[in-house]
Structure 1
Amino acid sequence: MGSKKIQGRMLNAYLSDNQSKSIALGILNRQYKKHDITYKLDLISKIIAKPQDYLDDPIWSKLANSILPKEVLKTEEDMHELKDNPSEFSIFGKKEINSNAIQQMKVAMSLPVAEKGALMPDAHQGYGLPIGGVLATKNEIIPYAVGVDIGCRMSLSLYDLPENYIHRYEYNLKKALKEHTAFGTSQCINYAQEHEILDRREFHESSLLKGLHQKACKQIGSSGGGNHFVEWGIVEIDADNTLGITEGKYIGIMAHSGSRGLGATIAQHFTQIAKSKCKLPKSASHLAWLDINSSEGHEYWIAMNLAGDYAKACHDRIHANLSKAMGIKPFRIIENHHNFAWKEKLENQEEFIIHRKGATPAHEGQSGIIPGTMISPAYIVSGKGNTSSLNSASHGAGRSLSRTKAKSSITKSAMKGMLKHTGVTLLGAGVDEAPIVYKDIDKIMSHQNDLVKIEGKFFPKIVRMAKD
């Protein structure tokens, strides 16, 4: 039997300082001695992704505190001062947005590097930039304005099959989801996955990415936990659509997932570097930036783009695996990122770095998907290129209840009743993803008439998410 003991070198791709590595090694080899190495590395990856969730944990609080850099006092000479008056930003659907998300966006617009901004109607409080926040800078890249799940995206495959296909092959469709998708931190597809992304040269050009290559190979084609999903459903395309698709009903596979452990580790690694180089007051500490022309900024840009392409590769494999399992082929695929940063020119042809954290790109004619909940429709849209939103739209309905509040206020039986009433079959997921924890997607879309054109809808029928 192989050794289950973690060695320090195994943590090099996860933790950049010796103190954190020493703490992690002690805990893993003392508290988790019976678990295998893969389990331990997945656990570390999970903690690195959200160390703030472990600050009060009896086992992991010491590591969490060592990962999150100590806040710097505002009297330090190298402290970046925030603007006394935040730059103005557009707000869409203000009545749908809690004041804490708006305040968080004001903090972001107080950064000396903040040029332009916008807040989408599904916005809610996050870490750094609020979810649903869009921020433009000139030459600065902010890892936490992109987010932990770099390149998280939506994808939809359309099949020219009759509406009754779902009912007729329900058993086979559920079986395909159970056997060819996987959800959660330590989960992966149980058979080999091939994709050209795994041969990318970037994996061999830095020690960080080199150390993450094996994890990327293992997790490709799988999805994270939380609100990630893969669904079978009915697609209705409008008569006046600009997608070049004949009006009518089709079968669809819709997925929501991101860059797995690869993206999470990249985000945490470069956030630590940014915080060490860019001192900010406590209220803005998660918005530390890197100059895009610096070596660290350039390295993050390369790693971020690799993670985004990896997220797309995961979606490629999800759709290909399910299509093969059912012996069907799509005639059209629609997809988009929503946790990323792009170099884009705005109306005056001046180039900016546009951070979209939980926001959908919506340039003129650009297609995308804005999901609702497991029982409400997702909207298939095309952008209108509205510069006041920095060519952006919402990325979903947006949460109205935190996971903690959801777990204390919703019962499993109530959630099952909602599913039964709407005829949706759910495989996995806990009450923290119940439909009522989200805002009304129809209301959210009503605030975006100037941002996107609705081209059609996707109605979920069989949904798979991470287990409770």
Structure 2
Amino acid sequence: MPVKIELNSGEKNKDMPVKIFTDDIDHAAINQLKNIAKLPIIHRHIAAMPDVHMGIGATVGAVIPTHKAIIPAAVGVDIGCGMNALRLSLKASQLPDNLKPVREAIERAVPVGAACHKQVSVRSQACAGLQAGIDQLFERHPTLLKMLKNPQQTWATQMGTLGSGNHFVELCVDDCGDVWVMLHSGSRGIGNAIGRYFIQQAKRDMEGHMHHLPDKDLAYFSEGSDHFAAYVGAVDWAQEYARINRQEMMALVLRAIAPLLPRFEITQEAINCHHNYVQQEHHFGADVFVTRKGAISARAGELGIIPGSMGTRSYIVRGKGSAESFCSCSHGAGRKMSRAKAKQRFSRADLEQQTRGVECRKDKGVIDEIPGAYKDIDQVMAHQSDLVEVVHTLKQLVCVKG
């Protein structure tokens, strides 16, 4: 059943309200949300999705509408991180019994972790179109050059790569027996550098006002300030880079698995949605900047992807256009424990048990991504039934982790 908690709703409280679409939230996340609500730039209220948990800079699962201002740390450093999914013309019954060769083929085709392509991997016209933007960015902000090794090539050699953490490539089957390819990645090292650079610039710009902030990580750029326009241009570039990165990676995955499977075609258009990003939108009578930090757009009729963890279900959903959530929903299950705690709490045997039936790595290097470290995806989905409807339920068959 849907659940909603409201904070700061009293008439005497000057802070903006916070609407939380779950009752599964820790005190640290609540305190972060309260801090964001104190900012004078917030429009109407803040919404927190059912996968909400404490984050760096701002709360993961937060939807933050702002008047003529953007908080770089709320957008974060994995700018444009998001999902891509394709349905294939294959049925689960057509897949080979042994899927390990499929996983290994994906791992050979797509660099994971800190790895990148050995040669510049700019294949499509869309990739080539990014070059002018990055040249201008480096020219205007030479400090960025110092934050990257081989900066002029880094963005290109990392195009079509997965990254680390909770990024993944999966082969899934839906409730109709159809096979899907789904992946999760963002703007890689260049997006990280852009994020870190502008977070520091925001703090410098607000040095004289930092004592007014409830948290120094909530430093923001206001329209007309020295770096506002530069940040908007940089973040737009990084978000486009992330989208194309997923597009290019999907092409690599399909090419890699094709020789190992019966001939197939794509039967549903790709869903390519960000869940760490900012864009201008119209809500409650005003044009505002909406930052979704671990949330996806869920306008009426809009398709999105809500992944679970390595051993649970994922969902293709259709938005209901909820005004209170600023037309948003969760971006996944959401962590319930830190990576360090997960490594302490769980063993390799636990990982093997919780990912039974999934062809994936089962070594200590991915214990921090064990399903037990995440919230119950079924409960997350139940809490947002007012925000989205489920179109397809997916179950992982193969999972390649960053």
TM bin, normalised by shorter chain, reads 0.7 to 0.9
CA distance in 2, matches of 1:192, 1:288: 36
Aligned partners of 2:88 and 2:55: how far apart in 1? 36
Q: Does 2:280 match 1:280?
A: no
Q: Who is 1:425 aligned against?
A: 359
Partner residue, 2:16 = 87
Structure 2 counterpart of 1:154, from 59, 80, 83: 83
The whole-number CA distance in structure 2 between the counterparts of 1:120 and 1:152 is 17
Q: How does 1:221-232 map to 2 (within 5 A)?
A: 221-232=160-171
Q: For 2:340 and 2:202, how far apart are their aligned partners in 1?
A: 30
Moved more, 160-169 or 145-154: 160-169
Q: Is the 1:135–1:356 contact (alpha carbons within 8 Å) kept by the matching residues of 2? A: yes
Indicate the SS of the match to 2:315.
strand
Match of 1:385 among 321, 327, 331: 321
Give the corresponding residue for 1:267. 195
Deviation at 1:382? Answer: 1.0
Determine the structure 1 residue equivalent to 2:392: 456
1:121 counterpart residue number: 50
**Matched ranges for 1:52-71 at <5 A:** none
Q: 1:442 is paired with a residue of what secondary structure?
A: helix
The TM-score with structure 2 as length reference comes to 0.87
2:225 corresponding residue in structure 1? 294
Give, in angstroms, the shift of residue 169 of structure 1.
6.3
SS at match of 2:227: helix
**What CA distance in whole angstroms lies between the structure 2 residues aligned with 1:413 and 1:168?**
23
Larger radius of gyration: 1
Q: Distance in 1 between matches of 2:384 and 2:137?
A: 42
Partner of 1:176: 105
Structure 1 segments unaligned to the other structure (5+ residues): 1-82, 237-247
Give the Cα separation in 2 of the matches to 1:464 and 1:390: 33
Equivalent residues in 2 for 1:404-443 (5 A)?
A: 404-420=340-356, 423-427=357-361, 429-443=365-379
Alignment RMSD (CA, Å)? 1.9
What residue in structure 2 maps to residue 346 of structure 1? Answer: 283
Residues 113-147 of structure 1, C-alpha deviation per residue, up to 9 Å, x if partnerless?
12231011111001222000111111001111111
Amino acid corresponding to residue 174 of structure 2 in structure 1: V
1:154 Cα offset (Å): 0.8
Q: Does 1:321 align with 2:252?
A: yes
Distance of aligned partners of 1:191 and 1:175 in 2 relative to their CA distance in 1, 3 Å threshold: farther
Where relative contact order (Cα < 8 A, 6+ residues apart) is larger, the structure is 2
1:199-238 deviations in whole A, cap 9, x for unaligned? 33211213248844421101011112111111111123xx
Amino acid at match of 1:199: G
Identity across the alignment (%): 33
Residues in 1 aligned to 2:133 and 2:329: alpha-carbon distance in whole angstroms: 31
Given that residues 119 and 157 in structure 2 are in contact (C-alpha distance below 8 angstroms), is that contact kept between their aligned partners in structure 1?
no
CA–CA distance in structure 2, aligned partners of residues 295 and 179 of structure 1: 44
Contact map agreement 2:99 2:359 (CA 8 A) in 1: no
Residues 335 and 367 in structure 1, CA contact (< 8 A), matched pair in contact too: no
Mapped to 2, the partners of 1:170 and 1:184 lie a distance apart of 22
Q: Structure 1 residues 97, 166: closer, same or farther in 2, change over 3 A?
A: farther
| Corresponding residue for residue 179 of structure 2 | 251
What is the CA-CA distance between 1:171 and the residue it aligns to? 4.1
Q: CA deviation at 1:250?
A: 1.2
1:197 paired with 2:127, answer yes
Q: Counterpart of 2:277 in structure 1: which amino acid? A: F
Return the offset for 1:168: 4.3
Amino acid at match of 2:247: D
Alpha-carbon distance, 1:283 to partner: 4.0
Number of aligned pairs?
A: 368
2:3 aligns with none
Q: Counterpart of 2:92 in 1: which secondary structure?
A: coil
Q: In the alignment, what sits opposite 1:235?
A: 174
Q: What is the TM-score normalised by the length of structure 1? A: 0.75
| Counterpart code for 1:304 | V
Q: 1:87, 1:114 within 8 Å by CA — same for their partners in 2? A: yes
Bigger drift between 315-324 and 198-207 goes to 198-207
Report if the CA contact (8 A) 1:151-1:338 is conserved: yes
Q: Which amino acid in the other structure matches residue 323 of structure 2? A: T
Give 1:5's aligned residue. none
Q: Answer with 266-275 or 278-287: which moved more.
A: 278-287
Which letter maps to 2:32? Q
Aligned to 2:63: 134
Between the aligned partners of 1:369 and 1:304, the Cα distance in structure 2 is: 22
